[in-house]
Structure 1
Amino acid sequence: MMPLLEVESLTIGFGKAAPVVQDVSFSVDCGETLALVGESGSGKTLTCRSVLRILPSTAELRGGRINYHCDGDALDLATTSKRTMRDLRGNRISMIFQEPMRSLSPLHKLGNQVAEVLHLHENISASEAKKRVLTQFERVGFVDPERAWSSYPFEMSGGMRQRAMIAMAMVSEPDLLIADEPTTALDVTTQAQVLGLIKDLQAETGMAVILVTHDLGVVANMADKVVVMNKGRVMEAGSAQAVLGSPAHGYTKKLFAAAPEIPTIAEPARVAPQSDLILDIRNVTKSFTVRSSGWRPPTVVTACRNVDLALPRGKTLAVVGESGSGKTTCARVALGAITPDAGGEVLFAPRAGDAPFDVHKMNKTQRRTFQRDAQMVFQDPYSSLSPRMRVVDALMEPAEIHGIGDRAARRDKAAEMIRTVGLSPDMLPRYPHAFSGGQRQRLSIARALTLDPQLLVCDEPTSALDVSVQDQILGLLEDIRDEAGLSYLFISHDLAVVARIADEVAVMRAGVIVEQAPPDTLFYNPQHPYTCALIAAQPEPDINRPIDLDLVAKGAGAPEAWPEKFRFEGAMAPALRELEPGHMVRCHA
């Protein structure tokens, strides 16, 4: 039996430079999942884009064949006509892109963008297309599919936008799905459900999947075959059982060594002193008015409710939860980007001994100090870096705004920061589009550190990074925190990352904190069903320990379906109660 897709000796280059992808070969059968694994910049995405012939204009396909076997015919996708490729793209072969903000139109509603796939390739009515899109929205985890249909991409969080991208790729039930980091921006519970959804579709339709990822836990749960790439070449290839169970190449072993895991043995509790707080969030509630379609009145959505968080100086407070849980809203309130509802306040004390001031009632002097002392690393590096600014100008801009140093000093600082995050100063003259997704995230971190801040708000700072770079960045953040006394408000959905870096963890669900404790307590004695679901959903790089989807579904379901002790509806959540010293759980008495 012929494979569905067969790539033979693929070579890709730019201009007269050496090839960036060289002699890459692999095949994937119907119903099979092939994982392309490697660090950012290893050539995984270019290899996949060549299948759909959507390489950058400056890229050149220098050699190789891409054989696609369809309805008894064999097509070489490297040479077939543009008309044939248009018929295949989005219909028989679909792709989930890594950066949804770059791939979705900001001028069109999500529902119309996903339905466009059906209108282009099928003779289907508008009502039937909407019905199929809403069904797909529900399957990828949208709580309110109708609202998602009527929303624009900028009205959604990064995880929500990624869900829409997944729905767009899967709505036509393709023969081959190319998934480029499809779960990078998703929380672990949604990731587990989406991976289960892809498996279900494979079983129903015989769809093949090429999975591009740096997450070895995802590979262990999904892949039948694994191809490990580094610097454009294949380092190791074989069955998932062989590669994951007994990696032979040194580079594969390096990836395993860098993969973060929730530790299996509890460490001594890291008790943080509460007397010297750099950030104190008190009783913060934030509601948004969301427009409705037609003549229906606008609806009020409460993103977070009665949130209390205290961050001691020099420590890390992690806020964990799924996309849409309200954690990023809390971070934006903490930075003064949005104003909380009446009754909430955010107090900030830049240095030990300083009198705290309310972030939302600052005078001009306090605001200038705050803007220098508090910085943010955003989740989506593509939208946070200007495509019209060279990297050197982007890194020098914060110091220029605050009048720090002359141009030579600013450039030296830019070179120091880019070197700190693992990139070369030779890259400073480039534009952001010349970097991979992981490299752009490193640039965002470098930019945030240029002013030597006291508080760093990190919104999913490692979600776009491969495991080895993630390990490097976490080590960097830890070193800076310990050496400079930096404080972190760390937003994440990756519990393995949180277990490593956090001194205190607050778990958010449906706009409220449901459990809060030090990581050694939270991970070894979780009480709330949602916390248990987050832990169960964390993928491990062990093919013999798959994700328990049933346990994930129980805790990640609606609050109304939780056990009676934890159950609540709407705004009627029970109070946070201290079950043991330092361990708070939202439950009924």
Structure 2
Amino acid sequence: MTALLSVRDLSIGFGAGESVVKGVSFDVDAGQTLALVGESGSGKTISCRAALRILPRTAQIRSGTITLNDSNGSVDLTRISERQMRDIRGNRVSMIFQEPMRSLSPLHKIGNQVSEVLWLHRGASEAQARKEVLTQFERVGFPDPQRAYDSYPFELSGGMRQRAMIAMAMVARPELLIADEPTTALDVTTQAQVLGLIKELQRETGMALILVTHDLGVVANMAEQVVVMHKGRVMESGAAAPILTSPAHPYTQQLFNAAPCIPDENAVGIPMSDEDMILEMKDVSKTYTMRSSRGWQGERLIHACRGVDLKLARGKTLAIVGESGSGKTTAARIALGAELPDPGGEVLFRTSATEDPITVHHMTRAQRTAFQRKAQMVFQDPYSSLSPRMRIQDAMTEPLEIHNIGTASEQRDKAADMLKRVGLNADMLKRYPHAFSGGQRQRLSIARAMMLDPQLIVCDEPTSALDVSVQEQILTLLENLQDSLNLSYLFISHDLAVVARIADEVAVMRRGLVVEQAPPETLFYNPRHPYTKALIAAQPEPDINRPINLKLVALGAGSPDSWDDAFRLTDSVIPSLVEMEPGHKVRCHV
């Protein structure tokens, strides 16, 4: 049987430098899923981009062939004209990119951008395209497809934008889908549903899938064939089952050892003590008003947060988990004073156990300046959080300059010391951000947040864009910094395995509400709420014998009015957060 896509002896280089992809070969058959696995910089993405001829200008395909086969014959994608290539891109071969904000036009509505595929390749009318796109939006998990269709990219969360990218790639039903980290920005329930959707489309259309990922749990649930890459070379390849059960190459074994997972042992969870709370959120709600794109329709109220009550003890980690749009980041922004809560909500910050709390949203100018030194944020995207026009030294010393701390030489010395603390070299200060890998940029973001010696750091999905080995390093770094400096973390994540490792308390949010809260040892082994159960069931594990239970995921991640009577909530009827056992709260009807 002839493979749908055949890559042979592919080598790619930049300028006069050494090749970054060296002699890579693999095949993918129609209807088959091939996983390309490896850490950042291993050559996975550039090998896939070569198939669509969307490499950077300085890149050269130095050797090899990339052949697309079907019933009409074979075509070498490296040698056909650009006009022929345009007929293939987005039509016969589609690609889901890792960074949706860079891949979507900021000037056009999401619906129009996805419909463009059908206009160009299928000749569909505007009405036909709109109908198909809305159906696709519903299938990829948009809670309100019509709203998403009429929104601009900046009006959607990162997870929502990634769903739009997935819909755009799949709406034309391509023969081959190349998915470059398609679920990194998605919460685990949406990830499970999207993976299930891709499998369903494969069964319906015979579509082949090349899955570029660092998540071995996703590989175990999706792939028939696996190719492990490292430094541009193939380290190990073959059927998924033997590689996942008994990897032969030391690098593959290293990847498995670094993969986070929810531990099997059950322990007794210890709730946070009320003695020394650095941060308290009391009855915090946030409502946005959204204008309709149609003049005859009224404004809509979007409840991002509703009645959130959270406490973070000094030197501890409070994790907030939930799907995109659940209100996690909004709650974090309110905690930092970047957003105002609705009237009646209050955020208190204590510099020390002996001092009176400061009300974050009613501070004087002097109090706000002091607060900004004590509370910092590490953002989800290490590529966007550093200015590409500033050297690392300037980016690191900027906070000290703003707060008039130290002389220029003292600022440089502190920047060098902070780089060493996060595992980088001081001689990197003169470089620009583009010279660093994703994991190094995230270390730089952490180092920059540490420059003002904060007490509280809000980590907004700090590891979601990182491969497993780098993720392990960042988590270890955060733990070491917390132990040595008594830092407090408000940790936003959708990865329960990461949360199980780092958190002292976990709050699960859905539709702006905290639906369950407990220490991780309690929450993961005695979940009560259907949404929490869905989150745990959706967590992919690197074990082919433990596939994701999509029925359980769909039950909890579905509409809240479909939950059991004890947990059901609507816009008008919201159950209370009830303490079921010491430190374990569940939103339910008593």
User: For 1:47 and 1:63, how far apart are their aligned partners in 2?
Assistant: 12
- Aligned AA for 2:446? I
Partner of 2:294: 294
Higher mean C-alpha displacement, 475-484 vs 380-389: 380-389
CA distance in 2, matches of 1:429, 1:45: 28
Aligned to 2:201: 201
- SS at 1:384 equivalent: coil
- % of aligned pairs identical? 69
Whole-angstrom CA distance in 1 between matches of 2:457 and 2:384: 19
Structure 1 residues 63-72 or 201-210, which shifts more? 63-72
Closer, same or farther: CA 393–70 of 1 in aligned 2, 3 Å: farther
Q: Deviations over 1:546-575 (max 9, x none)?
A: 000000000101110000111111142110
Q: Which residue of 2 aligns with 1:526?
A: 527
Shift of 1:145: 0.3
Whether 1:180 aligns to 2:180 is yes
1:117 Cα shift? 1.3
Equivalent pair of 1:101/1:383 in contact (CA under 8 Å) = no
Aligned to 1:330: 331
Distance in 1 separating the partners of 2:105 and 2:426: 33
- How far residue 205 of structure 1 moved from its aligned partner, in angstroms, is 0.5
What is the aligned partner in structure 1 of residue 365 from structure 2?
Answer: 364
Deviation at 1:67, TM superposition (A): 1.0
AA at the equivalent of 2:515: V
Counterpart Cα distance in 2 of 1:55 and 1:286 = 43
Provide, for residues 486-510 of structure 1, a one-character-per-residue CA deviation record: whole Å limited to 9, x for no partner.
Answer: 0000111111001000000011111
In the TM superposition, residue 129 of structure 1 has moved relative to its aligned partner by 0.5
The alignment status of 1:321 with 2:306, answered yes or no, reads: no
CA apart distance, 1:41: 1.3
Alpha-carbon contact 2:393-2:412 (below 8 Å) kept: yes
Partner of 1:135: 135
Aligned-partner Cα distance in 1 for 2:396–2:38: 28
Matching residue of 2:250: 250
Shift of 1:350: 2.2
Contact 2:283 2:309 (8 Å CA) reproduced? yes
In the alignment, is residue 485 of structure 1 matched against residue 486 of structure 2?
yes
Give how far 1:53 is off.
0.9
Letter in 2 for 1:212: V
Residues 91-119 of structure 1 deviation map (CA, whole Å, 9 limit, x = unaligned): 11111111111111111111111111111
Residues 231 and 418 from structure 1, CA distance in 2 versus in 1: closer, same or farther, beyond 3 angstroms? farther
Matched, 1:162 2:162: yes
Map of 1:402 onto structure 2: 403
- 8 A Cα contact 1:99 1:382, kept in partner: no
Q: What is the rounded CA distance, in whole Å, between the counterparts of 1:416 and 1:48 in structure 2? A: 39
Deviates more, 1:243-252 or 1:436-445: 436-445
The question of 1:309 aligning with 2:348 is answered no
Where in structure 2 are the equivalents of 1:58-73 lying within 5 Å?
Answer: 58-73=58-73
Q: 1:434 to 1:203 in 2, by over 3 A?
A: farther
CA distance in structure 2 between the partners assigned to 1:113 and 1:276 by the alignment: 50
**Distance between the aligned counterparts of 1:425 and 1:8, measured in 2?**
42
> Deviation at 1:5?
0.7
- Aligned equivalent of 2:213: 213
Q: Could you tell me how far 1:186 is from its partner in structure 2? A: 0.4
4+ runs deviating over 6 angstroms? none
Give, in angstroms, the shift of residue 421 of structure 1.
Answer: 4.0
Q: How far 1:430 moved relative to its partner?
A: 4.0
Q: Which amino acid aligns with 1:371?
A: Q
The residue identity in structure 2 corresponding to 1:570 is D
* Rounded Cα–Cα distance in structure 2 between residues aligned with 1:356 and 1:462: 31
Q: Which deviates more, 296-305 or 263-272?
A: 263-272
Post-superposition offset of 1:384? 2.3
- Residue 29 of structure 1 deviates from its aligned partner by 0.5
Distance 1:152 1:556, change over 3 A: same
How far apart are residue 272 of structure 1 and its match?
2.7
Q: TM-score scaled to structure 2, two decimals? A: 0.97
- Taking only aligned residues, the RMSD between alpha carbons, in angstroms, comes to 1.5
Name the structure 1 match of 2:584: 583
Distance 1:252 1:44 in 2: 15
Q: Does the alignment pair 1:378 with 2:375?
A: no
Alignment-mate amino acid for residue 303 of structure 1: A
Task: Indicate conservation of the 8 Å contact 1:158/1:380, yes or no.
Answer: no
Which residue is 2:351 aligned to? 350
Q: Structure 2: how far apart are the matches of 1:581 and 1:187?
A: 28
Q: Contact 1:102/1:382 (CA < 8 Å) preserved in 2?
A: no
Q: Distance in 1 between matches of 2:89 and 2:421?
A: 40
Q: Deviations over 1:187-207 (max 9, x none)?
A: 000000000000000000011
Which is worse superposed, 71-80 or 520-529? 71-80
Q: Which residue of 2 aligns with 1:118?
A: 118
SS at match of 2:443: helix
Q: Are 2:36 and 1:36 equivalent residues in the alignment?
A: yes
Counterpart secondary structure, 2:569: coil
Which residue number in structure 2 is paired with residue 551 of structure 1? 552
Alignment-mate amino acid for residue 222 of structure 2: M
Deviation, structure 1 residue 388: 2.6
What is the identity, as a one-letter code, of the residue corresponding to 1:317? L
Q: Which segment drifts farther, 450-459 or 386-395?
A: 386-395
Specify the alignment match of 1:451 in structure 2. Answer: 452
State the AA in 1 paired with 2:565.
E
5+ long unaligned stretches in structure 2: none
Which position in structure 2 is the counterpart of 1:145? 145
How many correspondences in the alignment? 589
**In structure 2, C-alpha distance between the alignment counterparts of 1:230 and 1:421, rounded to whole Å:** 24
Deviates more, 1:242-251 or 1:564-573: 564-573
Q: 1:418, 1:178 → 2: CA distance?
A: 36
Secondary structure, in 3 states, of the residue corresponding to 1:573?
coil
Distance 1:127 1:438 in 2: 44
For structure 1, the residue ranges without an aligned partner over 5 or more in a row are none
Deviating more after overlay: 402-411 vs 549-558: 402-411
Contact 2:270 2:583 in 1 (8 A): no
Confirm or deny: 8 A CA contact 1:441 1:464 kept in the other structure.
Answer: no
Q: Contact (CA 8 Å) 1:40, 1:439: kept in 2 or not?
A: no
Residues 381-434 of structure 1, C-alpha deviations (whole Å, 9 max, x = no match): 333222333333222322222223333433343344444445555554444345
**Counterpart Cα distance in 1 of 2:4 and 2:161:** 30
The aligned residue for residue 393 of structure 1 is 394
